[in-house]
Amino acid sequence: MNDILLQGKNIYFKYGEKDSQILENINIDLQSGKIIGIMGLSGSGKTTLIQILNGLIPKRVPGSYKGKVLIKGDDISKIEVEKISREIGTVYQDPDTQIIFSCVEDELAFGPENLCIKKEKILKKIEEVLKLLNMEHLRYRNPNKLSGGEKQLVVIASVLTLDVDIVILDESMSQIDDKGKILIKKGIERLRDSGKGIIMVEHDIDNLSIADDIFILQGGELKRFEGNLL
C-alpha cells in the first residue's frame, strides 16, 4: 500500500457569499507513485481545486471555504504558503510566465536558494533532477529559446529541485505540440516511478493517457471518469 501524500476532505468553496458553489463535497486522496488525472470544462473549478490543494486558497485567494487538506497527515492550514512549497510543486499552463532566468541551471537553483539550501547540495540536486528527466544536455541552455515541451520540462524540473513529493500540473500541456507532450509525459512517468505523487489537471482527455485514475469535475463534484463524456 503506497503512502498517502495529499488528502482533500469534504471541500466546499465559493468566491462570494452570494455566488454559486464552485466545489461541493470534494474528496481526493493522492498516493505516492500514482498519477491522478482531473478533467473538466472551462469554469468547472479545476484551477480553484488546485489552489485549495496547494494552499493558495484561502491564504492568498479569498472566498468561502470549508473542508480540510492534509499533506502527509499535517493540516495545510497550519503551514505557511512559502513552506508548503517544500511539499508541493505546482506547474502552470504557460511556461513563459514561470521562466525567469536565461540559463536552465539558474532556473533550477532558484527554489532551493530561496529555502537557504547550501550551494553544494543545490548543485547535487540539480544534477539528480536533470538526470531523472533526461535533460542533462539542457543544463546551460537558455530556456527562453527551447521548444514548448522542453520549456515545460524546465518548469517541472524547477519545482522538483525543491525536493517535493507532490507535483500538481495545471493544464501544463495545453500549449504544447504532440512531440512536446510525449516528452512531458515521459518525464511525468519517470517522476511516478521514482515515488512522487502527481495530480494532472487537463481539459483534454488525451493528455491524461498516463494517469492511473481519472476524475471529472462537473457541477462542482468530483466523480470517477467511467469513459463517457457528456
Partner 1 sequence: MNNTIDPRTKLFLVLCISTIGLISRDVLILFSITIVGIIISKIFGGNFFVLIKKIKKLLYVFFFIIIIQSIFTRQGNPVIVIGGFEIVTDLGLNRALGYMFRVLIIIISGVIISTSSERNTIQGIVQLGLPYEFAFMTAVGIKFLPLLIEEFKDTYMAIQLRGINIMKLPIWERFKITSYIFIPVVASALNKAKKLSISVESRAFRAYDRRTSITSLKLKYKDYLIILISLTTAFALIYLKWI
Partner 2 sequence: MKDFIVIKGLDFYLDSKAILKNINLTIDSRQFISIRGANGCGKTTLSKLIMGIYPYRKGSIKIEDREVSEMSLSEIGRKIGYLFQNPEKQIFTSTVLEELSFIYKYREDIDKSRKEKEIDEILDTFDIRNLKNKSTFFLSQGEKQRVALASVLLNKPKYLILDEPTTGLDYKRKKMLSEILDKYKNKIGVLLISHDYNFVKKHSQKIISLEGGCIVYE
Where along the sequence are the contacts to partner 1 (CB under 8 A)? 54, 56, 60, 80-83, 85-86, 88-90, 92, 94, 97-98, 100-103, 105-106, 109-119, 122-123, 158-159, 162
Q: How far is CA 161 from CA 86, 105, 158, 220, in A?
A: 9, 11, 6, 34
Judged by CB under 8 A, the chain residues 158 through 217 that form the site for partner 2 are 171, 174-180, 203-204
Q: Nearest approach, Cβ of 85 to partner 1 (angstroms)? A: 4
- Rank residues 74 and 212 by Cβ distance to partner 1 and give the closer one: 74
Look-up: residue for cell 493528455? 207
Whole-number Å distance between alpha carbons of 18 and 177 = 41
**Which partner from the list partner 2, partner 1, none does 43 bind, CB cut-off 5 to 8 Å by kind?**
partner 2
Whole-number Å distance between alpha carbons of 219 and 32 = 28
Q: Residue 97 burial (CB < 10 Å; 0-12/13-18/19+)?
A: exposed
Size of the site for partner 2 (CB under 8 A): 19
Contact with partner 2 (CB under 8 A) among 16, 18, 20, 42: 42
Q: Residue 118 burial (CB < 10 Å; 0-12/13-18/19+)?
A: exposed
Q: Nearest approach, Cβ of 115 to partner 1 (angstroms)? A: 5
- Rank residues 9 and 179 by Cβ distance to partner 2 and give the closer one: 179
* Backbone torsion region of residue 57, taken as left when φ is above 0, otherwise alpha when ψ lies between -120 and 50, otherwise beta: beta
Binding residues (CB under 8 A) for partner 2: these are 40-43, 93, 147-149, 171, 174-180, 203-204, 229
